Amino acid sequence: MSAILRKIIAPGGIPAWGIRVIASRTYSSSAGGKEMTVRDALNSALDEEMSADPSVLLMGEEVGEYQGAYKVSKGLLDKYGPKRVIDTPITEAGFTGMAVGAAYHGLRPVVEFMTFNFSMQAIDHIINSAAKSNYMSSGQISVPIVFRGPNGAAAGVGAQHSQCYAAWYASCPGLKVLVPYNSEDARGLLKAAIRDPDPVVFLENELLYGESFPISAEALDSSFCLPIGKAKIEREGKDVTIVAFSKMVGYALQAAEILAKEGVSAEVINLRSIRPLDRATINTSVRKTNRLVTVEEGFPQHGVGAEICASIVEESFEYLDAPVERITGADVPMPYAANLERMAVPQVEDIVRAAKRTCYRSVPVAVNA
């Protein structure tokens, strides 16, 4: 490990590279005709930030020679070399602690976990070494580091590779937690995360890597950057607000299409960031629609949806015309069997039923055979 550390820290503990200043674009217009996969969006964001700032480096298991377990780092080793694209041993605690130390010394490491389930091996460094150092040093220590990788359920990989850690990390002061849904989110938020002076947990979704989404010319500009802490209204509506993040945004949009055919106008909010949480956008929407459905893959107890519900009760309770509905994963470790796995995570029909309940529309009751 010390050999790897010597590669990325210059003699005397001074960063071997300079500092860049780049203006950021915080919006995008309509997408036009171009499309990009989430994988390519992440790859291009990493490439552009590494090109713009020599202090940015990528490290993790199989990020170099194998070009990433999900090919997010494809081509980066050839372009930037082994000093900046570093293949590590299978020791999350080791290379995460090393990366935090590099951030202390002015570098900007991007740490890739093959799955965020494996970040449990490194959680002491993420929470105690990264998240708390700026506060405990009275602002003298900055920790510009990104922890990224797939989070939540994939398909057929069992309980130890399927957990959503959004609520875990979002509960910790000192961290910023971002949750991209589409390609524009992936590019703009990863760039923002790398440029940020604080530690950022960047939760991707394995099943979205190969998905293609429309992307605007603005989002393809190298200066493009999305603001941290700002949600996006993906679809406007007037009858019910549906709040989701990551893969569940797509499910919420599908549910909104179905509801529209039945005369229910649903507003869909893509959180993009869950710490900081854009409470203002959520509350403004609920004050318009008077109803709320939250959707997440994580466990129901102490979840992101629970925090959103608390915010609505505290700030907009008098605007509610129906109880808030929470759609979450089942309160069990993820089953391995495909039929049980589907039952353990939210589906589009679950969102449709919940939205109908808030609008007091009749929902057919299943009859046992």
Catalytically active residues are: 92, 161
Please confirm whether the linkage preceding 276 is cis (ω < 30° from 0).
yes
CB atoms within 10 A of CB 123: 16
Which pair of tokens denotes residue 306?
């629970």
Would you call 146 helix, strand, or coil by DSSP? strand
What sign has the CA pseudo-torsion 210, 214, 220, 225?
negative
Q: Please name every residue paired with 58 in a beta bridge, in sequence order, or none if there are none.
A: 85, 110
Q: Between the CA of residue 111 and those of 60, 195, 349, what are the distances in Å?
A: 6, 14, 36
* Cα–Cα nearest to 240, from 350, 140, 137, 320: 320
Q: Please name every residue paired with 224 in a beta bridge, in sequence order, or none if there are none.
A: 25
Separation CA 253–CA 235 (nearest Å): 8
Which pair of tokens denotes residue 84?
């900046």
Q: Please name every residue paired with 146 in a beta bridge, in sequence order, or none if there are none.
A: 110, 200
Separation CA 339–CA 349 (nearest Å): 16
Compute φ and ψ for 37, nearest 5 degrees: -75, 160
* Cα–Cα nearest to 309, from 327, 297, 324: 324
